[in-house]
Amino acid sequence: MSTSIDYSQKIPNNVDLKSDKRLQRALEAWQPDYIDWWREMGPTDFNEKEVYLRTAVSVDRDGWANYGFVAMPEYRWGIFLTPSEKNRTIGFGDDAEMEAWQQVPGEHRNALRRIIVTQADTEPASVEQQRLLGKTAPSLYDMRNLFQVNAEEGRHLWAMVYVLHRYFGRDGREEADELLQRRSGNPDHPRILGTFNEPCRNWLSFFCFTMFTDRDGKFQLLALAESGFDPLARSCRFMLTEEAHHLFVGQTGIGRIIQRTCEVMNEHPGCDPKDHGAIPLEIIQRQINFWNSSSNDLFGGEISSNASNFFAAGLKGRVFESKIEDDHKVVNEIYHMDVWEDGKLVKREVPMRNAMNEVLRDEYVKDNDKGVAYWNRVCEKAGVEFRFRLPHKRFNRKIGMYAEARFDVEGNPVSEEAWSAIEAEVLPTEADNAYVDSLMVPCYKPGEFAGWISPPAKGINGQPIEMDYVKL
C-alpha cells in the first residue's frame, strides 16, 4: 500500500481496491446510491455551483490535500487509510501487546459492527442536519466552510462503509445500505444518536455543533484510532486529520460572533446588542449550554459495562493510549466518581474499566475548556467584562445517571421547582431562537459579512478573505 491515492479509479483510494474485484464492484454499486442520497439530503440549492474545496490527495502528513473549485456532487470521495505500522500490537485491554488484528476476530464481531455503525451513522446525519444552512450563509467564506465540512462528513461515511464492506461481508453491506436510509429527525426512521436528530436551525447552532458535536467525534475517533482492529484504527487516524478543520470552523465561528457583539457593545455602551443586529452574549452562552450538554450525552453512561467490555476486548481505547503511564490493562485502577444515589451525590470508587466513558468525557471537557478560554480572550481584548463558561458535565443530561435529576450549570443538584425558575436563563428560549433566526439572511457578496459576525482573521489556504469561495 502506498501513501498516495489512486485517482484513476472510480473510487479514489489507497487500499489497492482494484486488486479485490468483488469488493470494488460492491462499493461501485453503493456509490450511485450515495450520490442519490447526497442530492436528496445534502446541501440544498448549491449542488451545481463550484465551491473552493479541499480534497485529500495523500495521507502524508505534509501536503495531504489539494484545493480547487469543484461542484459538490463531483467531489472525489474516497477511501484513505493511514499506512500500516509494521508489527503493530494491541495497545490496551486483556490482549495488550498481542499482534493487532487485520481481520475481525469472531468473538468481537458484533461489538465492532455496532461501534462502527454508530460512528458511521453520525456522518451522514450531520450533513442532513445542516442541509438548509447554505441558504442563509453569512458570507461566501462561511458557506464554503459549511460545504467543506459536509463533503468531509460524506468522506467519513465512505471510510466507515469501506470497513463494513471489506470486513463484515453481507451484514456489512446491509448496514452500509441502511446508513443511507435513516434520516436525521425522522421519527419513524431516525439517526441512531439523539444529538444527531436535533435540527441545526441557524448558523449559531451550526457553529456550536461544529465546536461541540464534531469535538465529540474527535474524541470517539481518538479512542477508535487506538483499536486493536487495525483497519478501523487506520481509518480513524486519517479522519482525524480532516476533523481538525471542522473544530476550527466552530471555535472561530463563535469567536467571530462574540467579537462582533463586543464591537457593538463598545460602540453603543449600555445598549441591547439586539437593537444593533448583534447576538447578545447571554444568548450565545445558552446555545453553548445546550450543545455542550447534548454532546456530553454522546459519550454514554458514566458507569457502563459496554465501555468496560470494549476496553477489555481491545476495541476502544483511551486517548493517546501509548502516552499513558500504566500497564494499559487497567484491572485494578479506580475512578473517583460523584454518583447520583437516592436523590443525592455520593462519592464512590468505580472500577476504571467501567468508567471508560467518563474517562473519555473528561478529556473532551478539557479540550472544550481551551475553546472557552479562547472566547474569553476575545472578550478581554475588547474590554468587555462578560466571561463564558462551560456548563458542568452533570448539567442538562438526557443520558446517564445525571439524567435522573436536575443540575445547575455548576453541577449542583436543584429541585424541579428551582429548575423551572432558572431554565430560561440557562437554556435557549423560543425568543432566543426567533431572534437568531431573524438575523439569518444570506450575505453572498465576496468579502462581505452579515452584521452579526466579524470577518475571519484570514482566508482559506492563504487566499484572500474576499475571494469568491462559492461561484454563485
Positions in the binding site for Fe ion (CB under 5 A)? 123, 153, 156, 214, 243, 246
Residue 403, class by beta-carbon neighbours within 10 Å (0-12 exposed, 13-18 middle, 19+ buried)? middle
Residue 159 or residue 315: which is nearer to Fe ion going by CB?
Answer: 159
Minimum CB separation from Fe ion for residue 198, in Å? 16
Question: How many C-beta neighbours within 10 Å does residue 50 have?
Answer: 17
Minimum CB separation from Fe ion for residue 326, in Å? 30
User: Amino acid identity, residue 429?
Assistant: T
How far is it, in rounded angstroms, from Cα 256 to Cα 348?
42
Residue 43 or residue 93: which is nearer to Fe ion going by CB?
Answer: 43
Residue 95 or residue 243: which is nearer to Fe ion going by CB?
Answer: 243
Measured in whole angstroms, the distance separating CA 200 from the mean position of its chain's CA atoms is 13
Residue 101 or residue 203: which is nearer to Fe ion going by CB?
Answer: 203
Backbone torsions φ then ψ of 263, nearest 5 degrees: -60, -45
Residue 182 or residue 286: which is nearer to Fe ion going by CB?
Answer: 182
Residue 158 or residue 335: which is nearer to Fe ion going by CB?
Answer: 158
Tell how strand 50-56 and strand 65-71 pair up: antiparallel
Minimum CB separation from Fe ion for residue 429, in Å? 28
Minimum CB separation from Fe ion for residue 278, in Å? 28
Minimum CB separation from Fe ion for residue 120, in Å? 9
Q: Would you put residue 328 in left (φ > 0), alpha (ψ -120 to 50) or beta?
A: left
Minimum CB separation from Fe ion for residue 327, in Å? 32
Residue 251 or residue 285: which is nearer to Fe ion going by CB?
Answer: 251
Minimum CB separation from Fe ion for residue 220, in Å? 9
Minimum CB separation from Fe ion for residue 156, in Å? 4
How far is it, in rounded angstroms, from Cα 127 to Cα 132?
10
Residue 125 or residue 352: which is nearer to Fe ion going by CB?
Answer: 125
